[in-house]
Structure 1
């Protein structure tokens, strides 16, 4: 069934390609690679299990959130600390770190006007002085700006660049060997290209415009990763007591303590707020995140089920039906493997 959905989108040229891993407990239910991409030199390459993707906003939970947990556990920061404590030029003392993680800080979703790739703008200075659109803690507006601020706080506290701190304290301890900001030149040709711009495809360079302006490194976007690294990442959240990198209590709090449909960093299906981007068929308490390029992770602690789905969707442009594709995939996973309690697991090497 999953392969049928994938083939339908591939044949209709709605999705160019991707990789998927579905697992419940220790059993791999489905694993596949599909489709292709065009390199920035015009060569067509098939997507494999080893293909690296620009994971876009998954950066928020794969890099920024774990890096924040490291500082919280070391008591170098507190959730209630004002952003202004670490960034004095930020103008609003009543916005704190917890607000940034819950996306209820009052900060808008993006800068206005939105940043374009060819702009010459100081993104950080604009964020420092942006006007909030509501009082902190009142509602949820998913904001890139808040996570960029959080990345800056991590730099101020650690005394390192954000990418250096994330590599040392998060990626290396978690064993994510193929996950990085600003991939080296020699591996860029192996990375799935994103959007066609200015006569060629963006390949191995961050797609997100604000992260691009920030030299490829931000708390909101910029990370590149592959399927197996993100499968490894998910195990930390499903089995918090079986690891020693993070305090298990913090890992649990991130999805068990939530405001509306947002946990600390994650989106959470709370059974009420239908803004959730993944199928509401999944268990209440399921959580995860998505990325603009066509990436997603979704985890169901009750069923010990998860899906890592990485696509290069915007290879075909920004209007592709990536949300519909993701929804169909996740609904099919639950229908096939949970509702029907199927034992006829599809396994592809």
Structure 2
């Protein structure tokens, strides 16, 4: 049923293609690729399980969150640290690391005016100059800006680039050897092309405009990865694979320390259907994240099950039905595959 639904989505041009992985405990329940995409040079490419995808906002939880938790576990950072302590140019002393992770800082969702690919703008300066639109802990406003700030904090505290820190300290020990920012030119052809811009498809170069202007690396977007690497990542979070990089109690805190439907970085299922796009039936406390390009990861800590969906839905334009598709697919998976 799940397989038939995925094939139908491709046939009906709802999505160009995808890689879908479903696993529970040590049992892989489904691992399959679907469809194809048009490359930058207009050649047609079949999507395979090794295809790289622009993760978009999955970067927030695949790179930024574990890097922050690692620095906390090494006593280099504290959740209650003022952002200003690490970024003196930030003007709001009452906003903490935790507020940024939980999207409860009062910062707006995005920069105004919206950033476009051709713009010449100093994104970091604009983020630092941004005014708040509410008080900390007043409400959850999902904000790219807070995550961009966290990426900069990681650099300052670690004393090295965000890119090299996460690649050496997180991806390497977790065996995520195909996950990186800024794909070298020879690897760009392995990435599923995203959107058409100025008459040709963007391939192997970050889709997110702010990340592009930040030279492809930000705490909010910029990562490329494949399904196998994200499966390794999910197994670490669920304790299916034992790892010693980040103490498990800190990882657990990321989806149990919640405000509304937000943990530390993650979206957490709290029973409010109006806020939820990962389907019905999953255990309360299940957690994950989505990416604008069409990527998502969802994990159930009770059932020890996870779903990785990688698709370049924006290939056909930004007006996608990915939210409805994701909800239907995850409901179907839970009802038919998870025990």
**TM-score, L = length of structure 1:** 0.95
Per the alignment, residue 333 of structure 2 pairs with 333
Per the alignment, residue 247 of structure 1 pairs with 247
Stretch of structure 1 that moved more, 278-287 or 46-55: 278-287
Structure 2, gaps ≥5 residues long: none
Superposition pairs of residues 47-66 of structure 1, within 5 angstroms:
47-66=47-66
Per the alignment, residue 162 of structure 2 pairs with 162
Distance 1:274 1:76 in 2: 38
Conserved in 1, the CA contact under 8 Å of 2:240 and 2:304? Answer: no
Per the alignment, residue 344 of structure 1 pairs with none
Runs of 4+ in 1 over 3 A off after TM superposition: none
Per the alignment, residue 198 of structure 1 pairs with 198
- TM-superposed CA distance for 1:138, in Å, is 1.1
RMSD: 1.1
| SS of match in other structure, 2:115 | coil
Conserved in 1, the CA contact under 8 Å of 2:55 and 2:221? Answer: yes
Per the alignment, residue 33 of structure 1 pairs with 33
Per the alignment, residue 257 of structure 2 pairs with 257
- TM-superposed CA distance for 1:280, in Å, is 3.4
- TM-superposed CA distance for 1:305, in Å, is 1.2
- TM-superposed CA distance for 1:235, in Å, is 0.6
Q: Are 1:114 and 2:114 counterparts? A: yes
- TM-superposed CA distance for 1:131, in Å, is 1.0
Stretch of structure 1 that moved more, 264-273 or 42-51: 264-273
Structure 1, gaps ≥5 residues long: 342-349
Distance 1:230 1:58 in 2: 10
Distance 2:181 2:243 in 1: 24
Superposition pairs of residues 1-349 of structure 1, within 5 angstroms:
1-239=1-239, 242-272=242-272, 274-338=274-338, 341=339
Conserved in 1, the CA contact under 8 Å of 2:26 and 2:240? Answer: no
- Decide whether aligned partners of structure 1 residues 241 and 313 sit closer, same or farther in structure 2, where only a CA change above 3 A counts: closer
- Decide whether aligned partners of structure 1 residues 241 and 314 sit closer, same or farther in structure 2, where only a CA change above 3 A counts: closer
Conserved in 2, the CA contact under 8 Å of 1:279 and 1:331? Answer: yes
| SS of match in other structure, 1:42 | coil
Conserved in 1, the CA contact under 8 Å of 2:174 and 2:243? Answer: no
- TM-superposed CA distance for 1:272, in Å, is 3.3
| SS of match in other structure, 2:275 | coil
Distance 2:208 2:9 in 1: 24
